[in-house]
C-alpha cells in the first residue's frame, strides 16, 4: 500500500469544504475495520484512507500549512499504513470508568504481547507492539498500543483464497477469541495484502 505524500493531502481550505463528505466516507469505511475483542478491547485496523483522515484532521486541528509541519505529520502516520505483508492496528483497552480503567491497566500488564490473529489452522501470529516507543512498564500497561501483524506469504494466500480468520487475546486476566472474524472485516483486511 502506497504511503501518503503531500500531494495526497488537501489544503486546509479545501479540506474545510470537503470534510463532511470525506468524514462520512471514512466513518463508513472504519465500520469494516474495527474488531471488538470482548467488551473492553478493540483493534482498529489502519490503512491509507484512515491515515489520510488522521493526517488531515491533525493538520486542521493544529492549523498546520507549512511544508515542514506537514512532513512531520506524514512521518508520524505513514508507518501505520500496511506494507502489503502485514496489518497495522491501533489496539485500545476501553473501560469507561476511570477507577476501573486504572485498576485494569495494572492487571493487564503485557496484554499488548498477547493479542493475536490466526488464519485457518495455521499457528497464531502475535502482534509486534509499540515499535515507535514503549507504552507500558512493569506496573501498568497503556490504554492504547500500536500493533503490526506480520503474515507469512502462505497465510496471506490462504486468506485470499477464502480461509477463515480468528483473532483474540490470551492474557491471564483477559482472554477472548473471535472465531471467525466477521466477513466484512475479514474482506476489508484481505485488501491490505499484496
**Domain coordinates in residue numbering, the chain:** 1-31+48-81, 35-46+82-194
Q: Rounded CA gap, 79 and 18, in Å?
A: 25
- Classified as helix, coil or strand, 68 is helix
Architecture field, domain 35-46+82-194: Sandwich (2.60)
pLDDT tens column, 104-145: 999 999 999 999 999 999 999 999 998 776 767 778 999 999
pLDDT at position 133, please? 64
Nearest to 112 by CA among 38, 171, 26: 171
* Model pTM score: 0.91
- Predicted local confidence at residue 194, as pLDDT: 80
Going along 66-193, which residue ranges are E strands? Answer: 86-93, 115-119, 125-126, 128-129, 144-150, 165-171, 174-178
Structure confidence at residue 1 (pLDDT):
74
The pLDDT value recorded for residue 143 is 92
Residues of the chain with pLDDT under 70: 133, 135
Cα–Cα distances in Å, from 64 out to 18, 75, 93?
Answer: 17, 14, 30
DSSP state of 31: T
Burial zone of 4 (CB within 10 Å; 0-12 exposed, 13-18 middle, 19+ buried): buried
Q: 19: helix, coil or strand?
A: helix
Q: CA 102, 107, 111, 117 torsion: positive or negative?
A: negative
Residue appearing with cell numbers 485457518: 120
pLDDT number for residue 6: 93
Amino acid at each position: 500500500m502506497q504511503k501518503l505524500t503531500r500531494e495526497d493531502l488537501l489544503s486546509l481550505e479545501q479540506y474545510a469544504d470537503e470534510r463532511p463528505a470525506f468524514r462520512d466516507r471514512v466513518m463508513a469505511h472504519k465500520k469494516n475495520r474495527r474488531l471488538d475483542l470482548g467488551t473492553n478491547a478493540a483493534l482498529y485496523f489502519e490503512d491509507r484512507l484512515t491515515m489520510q483522515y488522521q493526517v488531515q484532521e491533525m493538520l486542521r486541528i493544529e492549523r498546520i500549512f507549512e511544508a515542514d509541519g506537514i512532513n512531520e505529520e506524514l512521518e508520524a502516520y505513514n508507518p501505520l499504513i500496511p506494507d502489503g505483508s502485514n496489518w497495522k492496528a491501533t489496539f485500545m483497552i476501553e473501560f469507561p470508568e476511570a477507577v476501573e480503567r486504572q485498576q485494569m491497566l495494572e492487571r493487564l500488564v503485557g496484554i499488548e504481547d498477547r493479542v493475536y490473529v490466526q488464519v485457518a489452522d495455521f499457528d497464531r501470529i502475535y502482534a509486534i507492539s509499540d515499535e515507535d516507543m514503549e507504552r507500558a512498564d512493569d506496573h501498568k500497561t497503556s490504554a492504547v498500543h500500536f500493533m503490526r501483524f506480520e503474515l507469512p506469504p502462505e497465510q496471506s494466500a490462504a486468506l485470499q483464497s477464502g480461509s477463515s480468520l480468528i483473532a483474540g487475546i490470551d492474557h491471564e486476566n483477559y482472554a477472548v477469541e473471535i472465531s471467525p472474524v466477521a466477513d466484512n472485516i475479514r474482506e476489508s483486511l484481505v485488501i491490505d495484502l499484496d
